[in-house]
Amino acid sequence: MGRVSALSGRHGTDFLRRSLGDLLLGWTSGSMRSPADARWENMVEANMTNQWVKLELDVAAFDTPHFETYVARCREDGIRLTTLAALGDTPEHRRALYALNKECSADIPERGEFYTYEEYAERRFGAAGYDPRGIVIALDGDEWIGMAATSLQEGFLFNEMTGVRAGHRGRGISIAMKTFGMAFVRESGASTVRTFHHPANANAIAMNRRMGYVETDTETDG
């Protein structure tokens, strides 16, 4: 495979393969795959091409004053934005994040069965790029209603998952969470945030483009 996205950066194809595996089926190691291993491999390899919409944000160009209005609107509506680090990176809160992530991921196109908690903990909390400061949580009272997860990678940050429970959608909460999460981006010193989406996930793609993400497909040696 001679052509890979800039999303893999200096990590080469392994980072992209792991992340595509997460988005497609939720399995990335031999112990986590579905019984249809050959189909899983074929889907990952096929999608390490131009089928996925790969987006990149120039942190310096992000229009903070404009998008802070979404944060202010959430606060006016009684929605509190915080991070897992601020709430406490505890076993109880990790379980709550898992439940929220599982529910919000249910309508991702072509996603199969979600992780067990043990698999999720290994892939999320055990990952080298995990930092609880990068996990933004939206709360309505005591209810966890949304999350935006960003991880540290070599040379950039990766926006892994943004989701809001169905009953709270359409209120600008996703944009507010991603804007709130820019504090972590700035703290990290990264100049770039990257993400990618299944092409059928039109709402997520449109939201990111509205926030200043642009499509990227730079060739590297991998």
Q: Tens digits of per-residue pLDDT, 100-115?
A: 999 998 887 777 788 8
Domain assignment of residue 29, yes or no: yes
Of the candidates 185, 203, 206, 205, which has an alpha carbon nearest to the alpha carbon of residue 195?
205
Answer yes or no: is 220 within a domain.
Answer: no
170 by Cβ neighbours in 10 Å (0-12 / 13-18 / 19+) ranks as exposed
Q: What is the pLDDT of residue 105?
A: 87
What's the confidence (pLDDT) of residue 14?
53
The domain in which residue 51 lies consists of: 6-215
The residue assigned the tokens 């989406």 is 197
Is there a contact between 51 and 45 (Cβ–Cβ < 8 Å)? no
Distance of CA 3 to the CA centre of its chain: 23
Identity at 97, one-letter amino acid code: L
Number of folded domains in the chain?
A: 1
State the CATH number of the domain containing residue 31. 3.40.630.30
From the list 170, 160, 184, the residue with the least C-alpha distance to 79 is 170
Terminal CA-CA length for the chain:
9
Classify residue 158: in a domain, yes or no: yes
Q: Is the predicted pLDDT of residue 45 greater than 90, yes or no?
A: no
Question: Residue 1: inside a domain, yes or no?
Answer: no
- The pTM (predicted TM-score) of the whole model is 0.79
Residue 193 scores a pLDDT above 90: yes
Residue 17 lies in a domain: yes
- Rounded CA-CA distance 196/137 in Å is 21
- 211: nearest Cα among 57, 82, 95, 78: 57
Per-residue pLDDT band for 197 (boundaries 50, 70, 90) equals confident
Instruction: Name the E strands within 79-188.
Output: 79-83, 135-140, 143-153, 156-164
Q: What is the pLDDT of residue 70?
A: 98
Structure tokens given for 138: 């939206």
**At 215, which helix (H) or strand (E)?**
strand 214-215
Q: Tell whether 78 is covered by a domain.
A: yes
